[in-house]
């Protein structure tokens, strides 16, 4: 075997150093240890209710997360390493979600945890003892508990909060001239939180809540939805705010149409998670004409980019990408990956926390869906970036919340037509 000369030896050493810089540079931490995943894929736990009452929506959320993962890896991944989402089924069950997180957040997983769970399961993990500190980014959970129970500034979310959703709905009703409103609320932290915020805002601004009727959150074929509807309709309030599980919302509206629209002739407002084509499809286009609701306004151009990529990747086989929380889930994966590259680590939670706000908030060069390669190039040159997502601005406040503009919509000929954007 020929012995290398001095120039060849130096070249080989530089090549080794460059390889270590690419594959190990993202793996340092303040403690001086290297990432367990420094020489393989970056593995991140992604918890979602693949079975249970939200399974039909979770299929689409999972597809959105995998779309983001694919785009990130096609753009080179995390400084040379592939991103792997370890997608696990929480079953919409807090105990299962906690056990799963405790088991999987080990040395093989980054100190970043994504969740598309409901508030109850997400909050249970937040309060649990985990094997290591983590930064958690939620794309569907909006409950206020996730703020009040977070004592370490480790919980963030791309989903709007229940406070914002409920307040915006009440504002919309007031602006339309409502002075009385009844609320139908599912017995679930998210829907109860939306209902409480709506009631508080409506009353503080001169309105009267005529009834707050609580029903089981999970769908039931035997529950008497018509009876609850009659209670809420008593006294002919100007508006009824319906905040349930999506399938339960359909049951309420079917009960309403079955007994005649004269049972309640005022203005319906549907909670954000009812802003789905399943409503006109299952209740009837003519029956739901004029029903209103409120949702985050989003970012039209970035949203269109994500929808086009989703359609190109999946067609219709992975469900309808226009249902709630799809854009929020897609954005969460992008933000997590950008934060890891910005921080130069997948294990140091202090660096990841700082980096997450740095890549999400202004100032900085605006980047968005499908622009991961451009974003990484900017980060590598020391340029600040500002990720503007498909779901909206994605700017995190000091509590980890986003504060998007809200859009009031109306069902018109089966389509969700935006009437205006506003801030409550």
Rounded to an integer, the average pLDDT of 190-217 is 97
CATH 3.30.360.30 fits 25-159+301-387, yes or no: no
**Identical fold, 25-159+301-387 and 163-290:** yes
Whether 140 has a pLDDT exceeding 70, the answer reads yes
CA pair distance 23, 18, nearest whole angstrom: 9
Q: Where are the beta strands (DSSP E) in 245-364?
A: 267-270, 292-296
Which tens digits make up the pLDDT trace of 327-373?
Answer: 999 999 999 999 999 999 999 999 999 999 999 999 999 999 999 99
Judge whether residue 180 has pLDDT over 90. yes
SS (H, E, C) 380-404: HCCCCEEECECCECCCCCCCCCCCC
> Measured between alpha carbons, how far is 102 from 125 in angstroms, rounded to an integer?
9
Mean pLDDT score of the chain: 89
pTM metric for this prediction: 0.86
pLDDT of residue 34: 39
Query: In DSSP terms, which residues pair with 183 in a beta bridge?
Result: 212, 241
Provide CB contacts within 8 A for 101, sequence distance 6+: 45, 47, 113, 125, 128, 130
Alpha carbons 147 and 400: distance in angstroms, whole number: 8
What residues does each domain of the chain span? 25-159+301-387, 163-290
| pLDDT for the residue 36 | 39
- Report the candidate in 143, 134, 153 with the shortest Cα–Cα distance to residue 196: 143
Architecture of domain 163-290: 3-Layer(aba) Sandwich (3.40)
What tokens does 350 get? 């202090």
Is the predicted pLDDT of residue 79 greater than 90, yes or no?
no
Decide if 133 contacts 109 (C-beta within 8 A): no
Banded model confidence at residue 254, pLDDT cuts 50, 70, 90: very high
């Amino acid at each position: 075997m020929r012995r290398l000369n001095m120039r060849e030896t130096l070249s080989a050493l530089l090549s080794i150093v460059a390889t270590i810089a690419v594959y190990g540079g993202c793996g340092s931490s303040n403690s001086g240890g290297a990432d367990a995943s420094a020489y393989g894929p970056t593995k991140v736990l992604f918890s979602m209710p693949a079975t249970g009452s939200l399974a039909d929506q979770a299929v689409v959320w999972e597809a959105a997360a995998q779309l983001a993962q694919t785009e990130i890896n096609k753009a080179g991944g995390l400084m040379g390493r592939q991103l792997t989402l370890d997608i696990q089924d929480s079953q919409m069950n807090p105990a299962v979600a906690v056990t799963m997180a405790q088991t999987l957040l080990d040395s093989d997983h980054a100190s970043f945890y994504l969740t598309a769970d409901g508030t109850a399961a997400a909050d249970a993990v937040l309060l649990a003892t985990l094997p290591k500190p983590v930064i958690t980014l939620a794309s569907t959970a909006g409950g206020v508990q996730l703020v009040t129970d977070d004592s370490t500034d480790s919980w963030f979310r791309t989903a709007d909060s229940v406070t914002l959703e409920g307040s915006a709905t009440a504002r919309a009703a007031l602006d339309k001239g409502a002075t009385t409103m009844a609320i139908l609320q599912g017995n679930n932290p998210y829907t109860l939180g939306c209902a409480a915020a709506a009631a508080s805002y409506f009353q503080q601004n001169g309105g009267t809540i005529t009834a707050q009727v609580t029903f089981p959150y999970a769908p039931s074929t035997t529950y008497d939805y018509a009876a609850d509807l009659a209670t809420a309709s008593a006294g002919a309030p100007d508006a009824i705010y319906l905040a349930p599980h999506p399938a339960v919302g359909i049951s309420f509206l079917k009960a309403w149409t079955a007994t005649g629209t004269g049972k309640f002739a005022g203005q319906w407002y549907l909670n954000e998670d009812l802003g789905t084509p399943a409503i006109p499809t299952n209740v009837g286009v003519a029956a739901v004409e004029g029903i209103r609701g409120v949702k985050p306004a989003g970012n039209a151009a970035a949203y269109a980019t994500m929808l086009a990529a989703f359609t190109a990747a999946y067609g219709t086989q992975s469900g309808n990408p226009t249902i709630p929380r799809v854009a929020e889930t897609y954005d969460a994966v992008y933000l997590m990956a950008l934060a890891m590259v910005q921080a130069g680590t997948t294990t140091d939670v202090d660096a990841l926390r700082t980096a997450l706000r740095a890549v999400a908030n202004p100032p900085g060069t605006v980047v968005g869906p499908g622009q991961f390669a451009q974003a990484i190039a900017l980060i590598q040159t020391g340029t600040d970036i500002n990720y503007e997502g498909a779901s909206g601005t994605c700017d995190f406040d000091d509590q980890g919340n986003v504060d998007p503009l809200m859009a009031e919509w109306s069902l018109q000929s089966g389509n969700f037509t935006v009437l205006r954007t506003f801030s409550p």
